[in-house]
Amino acid sequence: MSSVVYIDGELVPAGEAKVSVYDHGLLYGDGVFEGIRAYNGRVFRLQEHLDRLYASARGIQLGIPLSMSEMESAVLRTIAANGLTDAYVRLVVTRGIGDLGLDPRKCGAPTVFIIASTIQLYPVEVYRAGLRLITCRTVRTPPSSLDPSVKSLNYLNNILAKLEVAQAGADEGIMLNQEGYVAECTADNLFLVRAGEVVTPSPEAGMLIGVTRNAVIEVARAAGYVLREALFRLGEVLTADECFLTGTGAEIAPVREVDGQAIGSGKPGPITNELHAAFQELTARDGTPIEAGSR
Ligand code: PXG
């Protein structure tokens, strides 16, 4: 089946899905997006992704021209039209077409597009051996500049950090906030295991509140672990028993090393593996059926 893309209410062949060079999503990164995943015919935590999308849009005073239930149907319809049961969905809303000035009030209707594709997973080797992290010098955008809980099209802060990661030959990078507390990684949230407890930076550290993060908190509590959200510095990471990252693409990815220092045993830890298995069990049964929206 050839792929189709949803753009402004229509499903068009992927090669014909185009946005204007005057779109402020492109000119200024003025817009919001979501990365969503479907497993075995079900979209994982779709409502939560939509809630975050609409909250992000409110955060930049962008009115989405579809109701949440219309958006839900559009997502399901796009996945179904591509014949996918396992998918990675990119949902984007931009400020729309304007002139060359910044002023968003001069833009017409927001542009909405949805791409449903297959996912590029980390190689299995990553889950067997663990990721190598560095600490990035690029500080995570402070909430007083642009709230990192807004999933905006402005990813340059994360991209600059990702460049440091690439230059260091590492797999991912830890981003600190202005006060030196651990915030998150360039495109994933971070968790530690210390003395049998599971710890993750609290939202006040300034990060994107991941849908996977929220699901992992649920799964860890259901498995009987004490789950703490806290402010902590790099030293806590280096001395943790286990460390792992969470994200829609990665699910739960173990960390073996930070700045050349082994974390715990230097191998994926038992609690990390247990939580990953429990998370995969959740993705297999929890979710909005794709057929529901394809009719
Ligand atoms: N922090 C940041 C900065 C992110 O961009 C996450 C955490 C994890 O959130 P979810 O809701 O996915 O659990 C993200 C999301 C990619 C890609 O292609 C990943 C994200 C964003 C953009 C691209 O890997 N991650």
282/152 Cα distance (integer angstroms): 28
Query: Which ligand 1 atom is nearest residue 215's CA?
Result: 13
pLDDT computed for residue 70 by the predictor: 98
pLDDT in tens, 68-89: 999 999 999 999 999 999 999 9
Tell me, yes or no, if the two domains 4-119 and 124-283 fold the same way.
Answer: no
Ligand 1 atom closest to Cα of 88? 18
* Closest C-alpha among 95, 236, 211, 200 to residue 149: 211
User: In testing the pocket of ligand 1, which one of 46, 189, 211, 276 has its CB within 8 Å of the most ligand atoms?
Assistant: 189
Instruction: Extract the residue ranges of the chain whose pLDDT is less than 70.
Output: 1, 292-295
* Range 124-283: architecture per CATH: Alpha-Beta Barrel (3.20)
Segments making up each domain of the chain, as ranges: 4-119, 124-283
> Which protein residue has the closest C-alpha to ligand 1 atom 23?
187
Q: How much is the pLDDT for 120?
A: 78
Q: Which helix (H) or strand (E) holds 132?
A: strand 131-135
In terms of Cα–Cα distance, which of 75, 12, 129, 45 is closest to 293? 75
Kindly write down the DSSP assignment for every residue of 192-261, as one continuous string.
EEETTEEEEE-GGG-----HHHHHHHHHHHHTT--EEEE---HHHHHT-SEEEEEETTTEEEEEEEETTE
What is the H or E stretch that residue 141 is in?
none
Instruction: Please give the pLDDT value at position 291.
Output: 83
206 lines ligand 1 (CB under 6 A): no
How high is the pLDDT of residue 292? 65
Q: How close is the Cα of 106 to the center of ligand 1, in Å?
A: 30
Q: Residue 293: what pLDDT?
A: 58
- Using the atom order of ligand 1, give the atom closest to the CA of residue 212: 13
Is the CB of 189 within 6 Å of ligand 1? yes
The answer to whether domain 4-119 has CATH 3.40.190.10 is no
Find where tokens 């931009």 sit: 94
pLDDT in tens, 205-261: 999 999 999 999 999 999 999 999 999 999 999 999 999 999 999 999 999 999 999
Taking a C-beta distance cutoff of 8 angstroms, is the pair 269, 240 a contact?
no
Whether residue 59 has its Cβ less than 6 Å from ligand 1 = no
The pLDDT value given to residue 1: 62
**CB within 8 A of 239, min separation 6: which ones?**
194
pLDDT of residue 119: 82
Known catalytic residue: 151?
yes
Angle formed by the axes of helices 46-59 and 211-222, nearest 10°: 130
- At residue 260, the pLDDT reads 98
Q: What is the pLDDT, as a whole number, of residue 149?
A: 97
Which residue of the set 106, 151, 162, 267 is catalytic? 151
- List the beta bridge partners of residue 94: 31, 111
Joined tokens for residue 31: 């817009």
- 143: Cβ below 6 Å to ligand 1? no
